[in-house]
Amino acid sequence: MAELGSYSLLLALALSVYAFIAGILALVRKRAGSDVLGETARRAGIAVFGAVLVSSVVLVVATFQNNFSIAYILHHSNIDLPAPYKFAALWSGQEGSLLFWSFLLAGYGLVLRLRHKVDAQLVAYASVIISAVQVFFLLLNNFAANPFAMVQGTIPPDGNGLNPLLQYPEMVIHPPMLYLGYVGFTVPFAFALAALIMKYPGEKWIHITRRWTMVTWAFLGVGIFLGAHWAYYVLGWGGYWAWDPVENASFLPWLTGTAFLHSVMMQEKRGMLKIWNMWLIFSTFLLSIFGTFLTRSGIVSSVHAFAQSGIGPWFVTFLAITLAACTYFFIQNRAHLRSENRLESLVSRESSFLFNNLILLVACFTVLWGTLFPVLSEWVQGTKVTVGPPFFNKVMIPVALLLTLLTAVGPLLSWRKTSPDSIRRNLLLPTMFSVAVGVVVIVFGWIRPWTAQADFYSWMTLVLATLVLSTVLSEFYRGGMVIAKQTGRNIASSLYVLTRRNTRRYGGYIAHFGFAVVLIGFAGAAFNQDIERELKNGESMQIGSYTITCRTHTQDDNPNYSSVWAIMDISKDGKPVDVMYPERRFFKASQQASTMPAVLSTMREDLYLVYSGENQDSGNPIIKAHLNPLVKWIWTGAHILLLGTILAMVPSLATSKVPIRKTVLVEERQPVGAND
Amino acid sequence: MIGVAGLLLTAGLLLFVFSPARVFVGEEKTRVSYLRERKDAVYENLRDLNFEYKAGKLSDADYESLRNSLESEAAAILAEIEQLEAVESR
């Protein structure tokens, strides 16, 4: 079984190398037979998927067969591991997750090569670039992190099991989502580099890759939110984001990907920012690889781990080669990337995109610096300096507030230039409404922004998020009214038509709406409370308006783990509302413990209970209670964000032609693109 | 058994890669096709501008100035397309 898996991986590598070399030869040598050679390269790329699929299936089947002669399965599975987690073992360790990377890349490559008729020449170049990336990962799979390596010596009767923290339903889908995001950025990167190499005339490559980029960005976003949700519901510390290096690794390409998704509109509409966009997508891909390297090499835990890691140098080499290739082709063909138009005014849609990009890059650099600083300090000084949440929050909160302001104002600005009169028309009502909301929360005493910086930031977040919500709603209302006036439809039907006629714009607005809702959720973190108490049966503790009474505590046992848990009666303002069961599990195979918090979630606040342990003398449970306001807004906002993103990917309905007034002296015009 | 599976896999994939088939060769991108794409983009910008004006987002002065500049851009593109098509048809 393992032999078939290993052999398939070698076959996949051989096919990838062929797809790469034959693809290059077909593109470089313009002679008879080149087209046929190019076609075999394309098919070899497709065949890679078949070979990697066989390898992946072999590993999964071997896991279900409890084949502990394969070292990877011995280290990441055990006989009593539930079936979904046996399946998830494919991506729970280094070798498996790198095989999964190869599998997903082969899958993306398959789809790209099957859709080659969209622009055969461009796809041929992009296919070669994807093959190059595929070769790198298959080299890793075959020679540095082989998932089919055999156990030396005696084969144990049972495996070590899966990390307990990963034995949670979300962990079956969180890593694949992140990986679909990481890997997916290879496609827009390949198209961008292909367009640069072949000096592709025009921006059609952006149009071709737009959905690829959005799908990838959405996967990465879903992965990040699922990770936050998992951290909240499994790790038991009451939070959802800790600026952990691995979290940051996924956040970096998401930030640059967000910048790319926005600024690419300037290239499509105005032929501007071509160099900027090229480097944004290069950076996004490099950060995806860097994120995989950061997560998988162990470098963030210690530089010494990096020194011991077998794959660290591979990644560094690949990153260096990729950066060198991007730089070389950029220098060689940079004249091709000259802008066709210039920024005409600082108050325009273009400048708002530019500022949005700058803010996102500041955020990206901050996260990158904070993530790498401990590594660099250990390298330089020999001592590790920890960079914690205070550093990130100090920079990222003002950055997020600026970004929110731009999210509100940007869509209301015109392309080219916007007069003060137009700004007043669009912003007056939303601004008045958001300021009114800010005043109301002060008057009712919900937030006192002058008491502490955290309170001020929360108040600002609420006001600016409200500004985003109100500008989005006003955009829908204005557009809907135009359709209603033109067609005589009712407002609901008009809003549907409006959205279908420009899904990209209105999907984007819904995504902005979701982003604002998420931010309101973040603002609640300033008002978190917690309390920890040992509770006898029948004893209570108070947090906010909740009374938490310990009814009893008990134990349970199954083949995979044993657990202790408490039964807690919850009442709010004296009325019983729920029963909660915070739990602590001890996993037998891995000999590790994990907490399973109990959460009572409402739009107003979450009551979050953790079974911290027992008093050794009395045997009573020690319960930690957190009261976290507005957390549910984060998950709700994430759903809205995803809905908007999906909507933006749906093709728009065809619109009517626009009559052009023939009032222009054509003789005076220069050729398009010549006004640089 | 495993050896047979490996052989079948190799044979199947190589047969797929090297079996003769019709090769699809796409059209070469020309300046004209690029200009047509630019024209579509400018028309789309014009449509958006008209819609935003109807929605009351733009003052009359802003609308006129933006429309004029977009129409000039469109006219320049159309002129160059006509010029290139005339050269091609000779």
Measured between beta carbons, which residues in chain A are less than 8 angstroms from residue B75? 660, 662, 664, 666, 669
Residue A371 vs residues A243, A388, A537: alpha-carbon distances, Å: 8, 9, 45
Torsion of CA B62, B65, B68, B72, to 10 degrees: -120
| In the block, residue with structure tokens 């070769």 | A135
Spatial distance between the Cα atoms of B82 and A662, rounded to a whole number of angstroms: 15
Query: Searching chain A, which residue's CA lies closest to the CA of residue B2?
Result: A4
Is A69 near chain B, with CB under 8 Å?
no
Burial (CB < 10 A; 0-12, 13-18, 19+), residue A308, is exposed
CA distance A645 to A216: 11
Cα B22 to chain centroid, rounded: 25
Which residue of chain B is at minimal alpha-carbon distance from A505?
A: B48
Spatial contact of A151 and A68, defined as CB atoms under 8 Å apart: yes
The H or E element containing residue A227 is helix A204-230
B38/A481 Cβ within 8 A: no
CA angle A567, A570, A573 (to 5 degrees): 165
**CA-based nearest residue to A184, from A161, A159, A209:** A209
Predicted model pTM: 0.90
Rounded-to-integer distance, Cα A636 and Cα A639, Å: 5
The closest alpha carbon to A27, from A118, A123, A105, belongs to A123
Check CB contact of A21 with chain B, cutoff 8 Å: no
Q: What is the pLDDT of residues A440-498, one digit of tens each?
A: 999 988 888 888 888 899 899 999 999 999 999 999 999 999 999 988 889 999 999 99
Residue with structure tokens 């860097």? A290
User: What is the pLDDT at residue A343?
Assistant: 78
CA distance linking residue A622 with residue A616, whole number of Å? 10
Give me the residue from A201, A426, A673 closest to B57, CB to CB: A426
CA distances for B14 relative to A47, A48, A486, A529, B8, angstroms: 8, 11, 60, 64, 10
The alpha carbon of residue A467 is apart from the nearest alpha carbon of chain B, in Å, by 17
H or E element, residue A367: helix A349-381
Tell me if A232 sits within 8 A of A592, measured CB to CB: no
From residue A218, alpha-carbon distances to A134, A262, A282, A284 in Å are 23, 14, 18, 14
Give chain B positions within 8 Å (CB) of A51. Answer: 9, 13
What sign does the CA torsion over A634, A638, A643, A648 have? positive
pLDDT of residue A372: 87
The two structure tokens encoding residue A542: 């108070």
Residue A80 contacts residue A562 (beta carbons within 8 Å): no
- Whether residues B46 and A51 touch (CB distance < 8 A) is answered with no
pLDDT of B9-51, one tens digit each?
999 999 998 887 777 777 777 888 888 888 988 998 898 899 9
Distances (CA, A) of A107 to A32, A40, A42, A45, A611: 31, 18, 13, 10, 43
How far is Cα A444 from Cα B41, in angstroms, rounded to an integer? 50
Residue B73 to residue A666, Cβ atoms within 8 A: no
Rounded distance between C-alpha atoms, residue A588 and residue A569, angstroms = 30
Rounded CA separation B28/B30 (Å): 6
Residue A124 carries which side chain, given as an amino acid letter?
A
- The answer to whether A268 faces chain B, any CB pair under 8 Å, is yes
Residue ranges of chain A whose pLDDT lies below 70: 32, 298, 301-309, 654-676
Are residues A478 and B34, on separate chains, in Cβ contact within 8 Å? no
Cβ contacts of A453 within 8 Å, gap of 6 or more: none
Q: Which residues contact A275 (CB under 8 A, 6 or more apart)?
A: A330, A334, A337
Q: Please count the residue pairs, one from chain A and one from chain B, whose beta carbons lie less than 8 angstroms apart.
A: 151
Q: Is B54–A202 a contact, with Cβ atoms under 8 angstroms apart?
A: no
Place of tokens 């693109």: A673
Q: How far is CA A32 from the centre of its chain?
A: 45
DSSP-derived 3-state class of residue A512: helix
Cα angle at A423 between A422 and A429, to 5 degrees?
Answer: 110
pLDDT digits (tens, 9 = 90+) for A295-328: 777 677 644 444 456 788 899 999 999 999 999 9
Which residue, A239, A235, A226, A228, is CA-closest to A628? Answer: A239
| Res A382: pLDDT | 75
Distance CA(A637)–CA(A555), nearest Å, equals 37
Inter-CA distances, A30 with A7, A80, A130, A200, Å:
35, 59, 21, 17
Q: What's the confidence (pLDDT) of residue A301?
A: 62
User: Is-contact A246 A233, C-beta < 8 A?
Assistant: no
